[in-house]
């Protein structure tokens, strides 16, 4: 009874926060984190010593206490090996610098002879094939030279790379590393002397101290005490990007796209570092480096000449400081002449535990960089096609009748959608994999009704398991020992979440992960059908009565590892287990769809994520843009924000604008809190209903373009939505732009995010190219900066000249009903009279595309001729022939050519050796430079060309 009352009190307290801002006292600042304080004290000491050293020598110097041990450096195949040691600690660290394909450099470090093992499974759980398929450089492509420079030894490894002239330099005293690309230093390690590695050690006696270490063996936050049985084991390293002013990535934060400085002051600088530690944060702050729901330790630096990146592979709590300066350190470090005055961004990465494992990615283009990153963590796979449509969600649709009413109303108002969602109230007392039989008496019949018109259902399945001896899921997990253990490792860890007393499955245990996957199979998940998919919420993990509303760091996982070691991959492991269960529930396997709130690098392999619990205000609408872009920069492509805002009640104008922006999120879902008013698209009446319906229909019209973009991402790793700098890498004015963005390479979106819905918008059209309003086809010539009117009937979206965009113009109720609809091609002609594009089609649900069952056409327009040819990836196979047969009636029903100034009257069509002439149509065209070829009767799977004259 006492526990129940305490739980109810905690729940009431939690729900009371809904109308409030985040409770800052629930979450740590950097000053409240002992390992961060220790590293900053070390950094401050190094800084003072460096200043003194600089005064005595008359030049900038680094006073790092870490040096390479004499005669410890050698090249072993593809790996440079060195021993590094702190001058006072005398504990050697083994550093392996490995050279991979495409110029990637990997640097791993830990004690040469560790007192006990450090957690090192992150690489197995995150890297492609557990790291087994990483491609290393051949030994004969590497050459090591060692020389004395001003009395100090410098080791240089030269290596051949197709995109760069590259070398890696390592000094001995102090230990530093410099990655030189095309004869320019690009990425520098320990150039500030902040590398510090807390070696494992024995716990001292009752009266002893550990080097005077602050909070090394015990730390208290509010009422929780972290016992730290392993003692201090953190490490930090400064990583500088020489010649760069902008860095991006490391989501998730409600921050600007270009990361702000966190030390050293400056305009708009933060007073706290960026934190990576997955947390359940109610109504999070904006413009803050505070940790949120996901963590991806991947940072990208860009200037007008190149794009480079750093991937910090560690799943423990991590803090990152960012500073900017005019760099003059480099020339003095290597005594190479006059000091460089180029700008530099210095970052300081600090992780609590694990192995130091850092990847340097050389680019030099964004496309090169994302191929390199995909080599490490894999690309975003092709999703289920329905997942690209509109998702209708709230906490909670009341019952079966409510779900079917929402379905009927969407159809009544001719609003296409693909998925209805059910939150926690659909279950029997928050017991997941169950139904409240009073509210949902026949869930199978409900799903069948939805499926009749191609609609799916998503149910939430959170990771906390209600502690109930009569609940099958809990009993099986408990009997098999599958739950996370307490800090003693003797009993299940117990905490509070939505069901009350709860336990958590330990997904680090392969048997436990396999078992939870099997619970999603049709024979285990009663009331589920092949049209039911899953939402993983609260998987940071969220624990209502835990420190920072999460798990204690010293509780035990499989293998005896502490939660601190793997906190940031906990949610990803659940995401993976859920996706595996859905994938294998039918034969043959089908692509799963799983949405997760928590994520890490590698989560893109398992499904979509969203930005978390936002609010219904204009500020959160604006903030969603850099948040979605930052995730895409970090390789988490399938992401969106709750349309309308989760907390609060949006005005009709805000709701309309959020739909007009939300259709450009890769993941497009409207969601709302249980205490908000109903806000389905028809609720606001006219004219808002029409505006919202038009926006949703635009998403469906462009589904062929979106699906083709996902195909590109699955092959190249390129983001779906892109910061402006990524498409226009030399446009310096675009490097910090985060109020407009590109969707793929062809579409520029300038959303309206101001409460004054009649306020003109500033638009910058970059580069010397044609731009076309995507609806009116009005043409503009870039570069151009001007204001455009934008009332609620108007959205500013532009097609880039030189692009071919495929669409489906027939409006249906769902993406499934559109699957056999004909294709329209929009050819937006460049200033040179050319255009290119691609169209990709497959069955949208199975993996048969991996055996060739797809249509992928490369489209080009040149010399007034539009050509369709198969991509080089097209291979003949039985599966391909079967798919071509299934798609044999899908045709190109219309071609619209925009931007041809010369009068055109005729089109000659050649298909399969047959030639025919078609008159061009100008009736109904918006402009005199737009012509339409109506029903050229071309099959999407055939080779063909159309010549205009």
Output the DSSP codes for 710-732: HHHHHHH---SEE-HHHHSTT-G
600, containing H or E segment: none
Selected catalytic residue, list 280, 368, 552, 613? 613
Q: Is 239 exposed, middle or buried (0-12, 13-18, 19+ CB in 10 A)?
A: buried
Selected catalytic residue, list 423, 537, 580, 738? 537
Give CA torsion, residues 853, 607, 511, 125, to 10 deg: 100
Cα(865)–Cα(862) distance, integer angstroms: 5
Length of the chain: 949
Where are any strands of DSSP class E within 284-394?
A: 298-302, 307-312, 318-326, 343-351, 356-361, 390-392
**Could you tell me the sign of the dihedral formed by the alpha carbons of 698, 614, 597, 603, in that order?**
positive
What is the 8-class DSSP label of residue 388?
Answer: G
**Residue 869: strand, helix, or coil:** strand
Q: Which residues are within 8 A (CB) of 902 and not within 5 positions of it... i.e. 6 or more apart? A: none
Q: How many CA atoms within 13 Å lie on the side-chain side of 146?
A: 12
Tokens of 833: 């009279």
Q: Is 355 exposed, middle or buried (0-12, 13-18, 19+ CB in 10 A)?
A: buried
Q: How far is CA 413 from CA 407, 410, 452, in A?
A: 10, 5, 18
Cα(878)–Cα(870) distance, integer angstroms: 17
Is there a contact between 340 and 333 (Cβ–Cβ < 8 Å)? no
Q: Is 254 exposed, middle or buried (0-12, 13-18, 19+ CB in 10 A)?
A: buried
127, containing H or E segment: none
Is 537 catalytic? The answer is yes
Is 762 catalytic? The answer is no
Output the DSSP codes for 138-186: PGGGEEEEEEEETTEEEEEEEEE-SS-EEEEEEETTTTEEEEEETTEEE
Strand partners, 43: none
Cα(361)–Cα(271) distance, integer angstroms: 29
Closest CA to 483 of 461, 511, 458, 457: 511
Q: How many CB atoms lie within 10 A of CB 71?
A: 7
Cα(289)–Cα(286) distance, integer angstroms: 9
Cα(862)–Cα(851) distance, integer angstroms: 32
What is the 8-class DSSP label of residue 605?
Answer: G
| Pairing status of strand 74-76 against strand 93-99 | unpaired
Cα(568)–Cα(353) distance, integer angstroms: 12
Which residues does the annotation mark as catalytic?
537, 613
């Amino acid at each position: 009874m006492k526990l129940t009352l305490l739980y109810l009190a905690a729940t009431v307290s939690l729900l009371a926060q809904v109308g409030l801002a985040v409770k800052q006292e629930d979450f740590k600042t950097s000053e409240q984190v002992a390992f961060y304080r220790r590293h900053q004290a070390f950094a401050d000491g190094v800084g003072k010593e460096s200043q003194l050293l600089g005064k005595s020598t008359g030049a900038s110097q680094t006073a790092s206490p870490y040096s390479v041990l004499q005669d410890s450096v050698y090249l072993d195949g593809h790996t440079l090996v060195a021993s590094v040691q702190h001058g006072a600690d005398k504990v050697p660290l083994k550093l392996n610098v490995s050279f991979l394909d495409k110029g990637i450099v990997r640097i791993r470090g830990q004690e040469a002879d560790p007192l006990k093992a450090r957690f090192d499974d992150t690489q197995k759980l995150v890297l492609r094939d557990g790291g087994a398929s990483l491609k290393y450089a051949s030994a004969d492509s590497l050459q090591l030279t060692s020389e004395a420079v001003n009395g100090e030894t410098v080791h240089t490894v030269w290596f051949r790379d197709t995109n760069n002239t590259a070398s890696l330099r390592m000094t001995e005293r102090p230990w530093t590393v410099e990655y030189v690309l095309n004869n320019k230093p690009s990425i520098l390690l320990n150039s500030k002397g902040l590398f510090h590695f807390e070696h494992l050690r024995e716990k001292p006696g009752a009266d002893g101290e550990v080097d005077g270490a602050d909070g090394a063996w015990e730390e208290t936050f509010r009422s929780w005490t972290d016992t730290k049985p392993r003692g201090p084991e953190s490490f930090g390293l400064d990583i500088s990007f020489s010649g760069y002013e902008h860095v991006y990535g490391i989501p998730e934060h409600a921050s600007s796209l270009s990361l702000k400085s966190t030390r050293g002051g400056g305009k708009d600088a933060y007073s706290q570092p960026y934190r990576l530690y997955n947390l359940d944060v109610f109504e999070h702050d904006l413009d803050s480096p505070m940790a949120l729901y996901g963590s991806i330790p991947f940072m990208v630096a860009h200037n007008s000449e190149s794009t480079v990146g750093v991937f910090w592979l560690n799943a423990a709590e991590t803090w990152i400081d960012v500073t900017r300066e005019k760099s003059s350190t480099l020339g003095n470090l290597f005594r190479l002449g006059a000091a460089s005055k180029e700008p530099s961004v210095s970052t300081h990465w600090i992780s609590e535990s694990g192995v130091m494992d850092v990847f340097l990615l050389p680019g030099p283009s964004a496309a090169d960089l994302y191929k390199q990153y995909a080599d490490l963590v894999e690309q975003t796979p092709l999703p289920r096609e329905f997942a690209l449509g509109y998702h209708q969600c709230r906490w909670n649709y009341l019952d079966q009748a409510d779900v079917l009413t929402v379905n009927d109303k969407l159809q009544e108002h001719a609003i296409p959608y693909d998925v209805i969602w059910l939150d926690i109230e659909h279950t029997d007392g928050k017991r997941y994999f169950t139904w409240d039989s009073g509210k949902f008496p026949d869930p199978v019949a409900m799903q069948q009704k939805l499926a009749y018109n191609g609609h799916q259902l998503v149910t939430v399945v959170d990771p906390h398991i209600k502690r109930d001896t009569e609940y099958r899921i809990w009993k099986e997990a408990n009997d098999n020992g599958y739950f996370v253990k307490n800090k003693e490792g003797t009993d299940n860890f117990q905490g509070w979440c939505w069901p009350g007393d709860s336990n958590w499955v330990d997904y680090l245990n392969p048997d436990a992960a396999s078992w939870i996957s099997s619970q999603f199979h049709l024979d285990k998940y009663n009331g589920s059908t092949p049209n039911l998919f899953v939402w993983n919420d609260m998987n940071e993990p969220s624990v209502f009565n835990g420190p920072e509303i999460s798990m204690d760091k010293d509780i035990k996982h499989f293998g005896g590892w502490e939660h601190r070691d793997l906190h940031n991959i906990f949610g990803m492991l659940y995401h993976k287990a859920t996706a595996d269960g859905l994938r294998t529930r039918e034969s043959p396997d089908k692509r799963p769809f799983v949405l997760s709130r928590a994520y890490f690098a590698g989560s893109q392999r398992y499904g979509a994520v969203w930005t978390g619990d936002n609010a219904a205000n204009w500020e959160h609408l604006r903030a969603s843009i850099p948040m979605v872009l930052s995730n895409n920069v970090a390789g988490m492509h399938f992401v969106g924000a709750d349309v309308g805002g989760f907390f609060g009640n949006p005005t009709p104008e805000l709701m309309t604008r959020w739909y007009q922006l939300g259709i450009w999120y890769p993941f497009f879902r409207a969601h709302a809190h249980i205490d908000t008013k109903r806000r389905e698209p028809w609720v606001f009446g006219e004219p808002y209903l029409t505006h919202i319906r038009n926006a949703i229909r635009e998403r469906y019209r462009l589904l062929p373009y979106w699906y083709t973009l996902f195909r590109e991402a699955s092959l190249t790793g390129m983001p779906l939505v892109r910061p402006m700098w990524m498409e226009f890498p030399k446009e310096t004015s675009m490097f910090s732009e985060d109020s407009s963005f590109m969707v793929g390479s062809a579409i520029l979106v300038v959303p309206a995010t101001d409460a004054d819905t009649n306020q003109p918008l500033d638009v910058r059209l970059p580069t010397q190219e044609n731009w076309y309003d995507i609806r009116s086809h009005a043409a503009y010539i870039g570069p151009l900066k001007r204001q455009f009117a934008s009332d609620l009937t108007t959205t500013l979206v532009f097609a880039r000249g030189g692009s071919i965009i495929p669409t489906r113009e027939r409006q249906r109720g769902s993406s499934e009903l559109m699957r056999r609809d004909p294709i329209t091609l929009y050819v937006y002609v460049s200033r040179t009279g050319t255009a290119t594009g691609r169209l990709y089609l497959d069955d949208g649900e199975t993996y048969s595309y991996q055996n060739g069952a797809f249509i992928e056409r490369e489209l080009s327009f040149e010399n007034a001729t539009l050509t369709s040819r198969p991509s080089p990836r097209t291979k003949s196979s039985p599966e391909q022939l079967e798919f071509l047969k299934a798609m044999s009636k899908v045709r190109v029903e219309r071609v619209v050519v925009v931007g041809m100034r010369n009068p055109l009257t005729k089109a000659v069509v050649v298909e399969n050796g047959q030639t025919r002439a078609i008159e061009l149509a100008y009736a109904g065209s918006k402009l005199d430079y737009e012509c339409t070829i109506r029903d050229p009767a071309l099959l999407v799977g055939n080779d063909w060309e159309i010549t205009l004259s």
